[in-house]
Amino acid sequence: MKTQVAIIGGGPAGLLLSQLLDLHGIESVVLERRSRDYVLSRIRAGVLEQGTVDLLRAADVGARMDRQGEIHDGVEISWHDERLNIDIKSLTGRGVMVYGQTEVTQDLYAARDARGGTVLHEAEVTAIEGVEGDGVTVHFTHEGEAKTLTADFVAGCDGFHGPSRKAIPESHRQEFERAYPFGWLGLLSETPPAAPELIYAAHDRGFALCSMRSPTLSRYYVQVPLSEKLEDWPAERFWDELRTRIPADVAETLVTGEPLEMSIAPLRSFVSEPMRHGRLFLAGDSAHIVPPTGAKGLNLAASDVYYLHRAFDRFYNHGTSEGLDAYSETALSRVWKCERFSWWMTSMLHDFPETGAFERRMQRAEFEYLQMSETARKSFAENYVGLPY
Ligand code: FAD
Ligand code: DHB
């Protein structure tokens, strides 16, 4: 099999890239290790920045999002029972869109199908060759057989555990990491959201988040130590813990129900530099991970894809490799600023094992600074709605 751009990974980054390339007349093949049902069963991100929304519209996959997604003009941060509403719309002129990653992925699959795009499922990439040469060969297994895909370039959109990043020799790669000693236990339930806006809640017992997918579907998280096991968290225990950590007036009216899904996600900050080596370009979680506190993971995958599809467009349609040459530096500049915001928001709101009296006062001071200063709220809002591309 032969194509122009071989795309490894059929998550949001890989699918969005293939759709945008197609709209610019560039061929690609997407190789995805899992089945389509498996990819669609993963409950992940829920908040889209304006830039992501605009990019999805430009990719012709915005129609259902515009009908069913909810635009939010504000977001709340709470400290025990104190609530602070940050009016992101009046501070920045922009809001965010609440629309789940599952829905985005479903819309992208539908669009690829409608345009006759090739997305191979249960196609596991085992090796990538020729990255430093004149063309690449991607080896993969599909339907029990070993197969190859040859291409001009390869886009590594295969997430944190995929093979693409590791195809860059260690001597050419530098990794920066901070692992956090806790995770988020998430619960999805068919119940009305606890409040109209998302609430990021700081509490001495640990962080909690009230989020939603629709007027009838809610998503909640509580910070848990990494040692926690899912089986030790029956729904009742989760609801009790959540009620303790969120403001009392919200807890009083919280509607609970049977969980549709529960899972634990570890928290990590990670960046691998550079994001390009020869004919290999990394995008999304394959190159960087943020802790989920700022809702940036999926949005960063989208901004990478924005830069990368434009670079391929300039190469194939305008005969210049300038965009490809600048890709790593351009993408990383935005990545690091989002890493900073996600790290900062995580630091402000979570209970760290090493949190002593001094650190707790620092966290409280951050909260009070946001309460008293419009400048601080504006800086928060500018980051939360998404830095410009
Ligand atoms: P992925 O979505 O990981 O897609 C990569 C794809 O590559 C996968 O489908 C994988 O199967 C495929 N792949 C891997 N190896 C191979 C191979 N060898 N061959 C072929 N295909 C391969 N972000 C938030 O903003 N909020 C959240 O609440 C949130 N929760 C998260 C929970 C979890 C458990 C995880 C892992 C991430 C979460 N994120 C969250 C982050 C967000 O979901 C990611 O940033 C986003 O999915 C990145 O998209 P991606 O396409 O780069 O990677
Ligand atoms: C959701 C996840 C996040 O990480 C976040 O910051 C906001 C919302 C969610 O799953 O709804």
pLDDT tens figures, 136-192: 999 999 999 999 999 999 999 999 999 999 999 999 999 999 999 999 999 999 999
For ligand 2, say whether the CB of 193 is within 6 Å of any of its atoms.
no
Claim to verify: residue 228 and residue 280 sit in the same structural domain:
no
Nearest ligand atom owner, CA of 47 = 2
Ligand 2: residue of 52, 184, 209, 262 to mutate (most ligand atoms within 8 A of CB) is 209
pLDDT confidence of residue 215: 95
* CATH number of 236's domain: 3.30.9.10
Separation of 91 CA from ligand 1 center, angstroms? Answer: 31
Domain annotation covers residue 81: no
Q: What is the mean pLDDT of residues 228-234?
A: 97
Q: Give 296's pLDDT tier (boundaries 50, 70, 90).
A: very high
Rounded to the nearest angstrom, the distance between the alpha carbon of 102 and the centre of ligand 2 is 13
Within a domain: 389: no
Same-domain pairing of 297 and 247: no
Q: Is the peptide bond before 259 cis (omega within 30 degrees of 0)?
A: no
Question: Given pLDDT bands bounded at 50, 70 and 90, which one contains residue 355?
Answer: confident
Instruction: Please list, residue by residue across 133-154, b when 16 or more beta carbons sit within 10 angstroms of its beta carbon and e when fewer do.
Output: eeebbbebebeeeeeebebbbb
Provide the residue type at 309 as one letter: H
CATH number at residue 341: 3.50.50.60
Residues with CB under 6 A from ligand 1: 8-14, 31-34, 39, 44-45, 101, 124-125, 157-159, 162-163, 265, 284-285, 292, 295-298, 301
**Distances in whole angstroms, Cα of residue 104 to Cα of each of 100, 315, 363, 368:** 6, 28, 34, 36
Q: Which of 101, 49, 130, 114 is nearest to 386 (CA)?
A: 49
- Domain shared by 214 and 341, yes or no: no
State residue 322's pLDDT score: 98
Prediction ipTM score = 0.96
Asked if 250 and 377 sit in the same domain, the reply is yes
Q: Are residues 197 and 243 in the same domain?
A: yes
In a domain, 217, yes or no: yes
Q: Which two tokens stand for residue 316?
A: 């194939």
Q: What is the pLDDT of residue 59?
A: 98
Residues 150 and 161 grouped into a single domain: yes
pLDDT for 206: 97
Listed range (40-44, 81-85, 241-245) with the worst mean pLDDT: 40-44
The answer as to whether 86 is a domain residue is no
Domain with 379, as residue range(s), is 180-267+351-384
At 214, list the tokens. 């629709």
Is the pLDDT score of 354 beyond 90? no
Q: Which tokens is 45 given?
A: 């991100």
List phi, psi (to 5°) of 113.
-60, -45
250 and 278 share one domain: no
- Is there a catalytic annotation at residue 72? yes
Is residue 46 within 6 Å of ligand 2 at its C-beta? yes
- Please indicate, yes or no, whether residues 225 and 281 belong to a single structural domain of this protein: no
Same domain? 166 vs 216: no
- The closest of 48, 55, 38, 61 to 101, measured between CA atoms, is 48
Res 95: pLDDT: 97
- Over 90: is that where the pLDDT of 311 sits? yes
Can you give the pLDDT at residue 302? 98
**Residues 43 and 102 sit within 8 Å (Cβ to Cβ):** yes
Reply yes or no on whether the pLDDT at 230 is more than 90: yes
Residue nearest to atom 15 of ligand 1 (CA): 162
Q: Report the alpha-carbon distance of residue 196 to residue 76 in Å, rounded.
A: 10
Same domain, 125 and 263: no
Same-domain status, 284 and 228: no
Per the domain annotation, does 84 fall within a domain? no
pLDDT of 51 strictly over 90: yes
In the chain, % of residues over pLDDT 90: 97
Q: 238 and 185 in contact (C-beta within 8 Å)?
A: yes
Q: Is residue 309 part of a domain?
A: yes
Q: Which ligand does the CA of 200 lie closest to?
A: 2
Mean of per-residue pLDDT scores for the chain: 97
Question: Is position 292 annotated as part of the catalytic site?
Answer: yes
Shared domain for 263 and 304, answered yes or no, is no
User: What total of structural domains would you count in the chain?
Assistant: 2
